Homo-oligomer: A and B are copies of this chain.
Amino acid sequence: MSSLDKMLKVLDLFGEERMSIQLEDVQAAGASRATAYRYIQSLCDSGLLAPTTGGSYVLGPRIIELDRLVRRADPLLTRAGAPMRDVSARLGINVMLCSYYGDKVMCADIVWPERSVPEYYERGRPMPMFRGAMAKTILAHLTPYQLRNIMLWHGELVREAGLGENWEQFRSNMSRLRRDGYCVTRGEVIPDLVGIGAPVFDAERRILGSVVFAVRESRFQSAGKEDLVSEIKQLAARITSAIAGEAGDRPAQRAARPRKIRTLAPEDASPVE
């Protein structure tokens, strides 16, 4: 592993429980005192880290600045907001927006009027890649190339997730989801929660992400699957055409491209805390 990678791994020390790190934490990750300081120094200079009192360091202002840039420019986020809020208000239903990043699926936005449903997700929360409607909807629309690579490099995970025992099964499962144009999952991420998802594309019909209704099992039963499916498909279509509408000008913002997907997050499957 190069020194570049080792330095960037310092960022991995942060997590929900640990919001500040110290010199020793970096040393413990395998670096001499001098080197630990060097990494910290570079990260601080770039603003990714910021020093606080007592020799500890926190995430720095650059993070917030860069996130602002992403929020401003992400076509998914900027174009999905209004339609999402419309539908959510009309149906009184919880909606999530998911973004696909080549090797990661992430919650990009939520509208959550049904407060009795636990608000597990929020912008920036990573999501499992093989479970839940958000993920499967996206998975289904990757290119054949990408799907084959996933089976090749992560067949074990595919099998665990029940997406197919082999390439033929996986391929045909994904193909069916694609034809359906929606995906329903029950309790795959959070018990008792049903996800109803549909895909969002860019102007070139590449998968960008997904929108998902998150409802309790009881509501899903009473509401009737067909209506919810029809609504989510309409919502996704509205967002897709809003994105296609703005396009043509600037270069496509983000799209699928996982190549070998060598490095799925090691524990991409720890959703319920």
Residues of A within 8 A of B (CB): 2-5, 7-9, 11, 14-16, 19-20, 38-39, 42-48, 50-54, 56, 58-73, 99, 101-102, 104, 106, 108, 122-126, 204, 206, 250-257, 259, 263
Contacts and interface: CB of A to CB of B under 8 A. Distances in A.
A55 to B, nearest CB: 10
A261 to B, nearest CB: 11
B61 A104 contact: yes
Residue in A9, A53, A123, A254 whose Cβ sees the most chain B Cβ within 10 Å: A254
Contacts of A123: 64, 68
Given A3-B3, A52-B257, A67-B67, A46 B11 contact: yes
A63 B61 contact: no
Given A63-B70, A66-B14, A253 B19 contact: yes
A197 B48 CA distance: 27
Contacts of A65: 106, 124-126
Contacts of A52: 102, 252-255, 257
Contacts of A106: 61, 64-65
A62 B66 CA distance: 10
A4 to B, nearest CB: 4
A63 B60 contact: no
Contact of A101 (B11, B20, B60, B206): B60
B73 A69 contact: no
A39 B253 CA distance: 21
Given A11-B46, A42-B5, A53-B206, A69 B61 contact: no
A254 B259 CA distance: 39
Residue in A47, A104, A255 whose Cβ sees the most chain B Cβ within 10 Å: A47
Given A5-B42, A15-B69, 8 more contacts: A4-B38, A9-B46, A16-B72, A19-B253, A50-B254, A52-B254, A54-B252, A59-B69
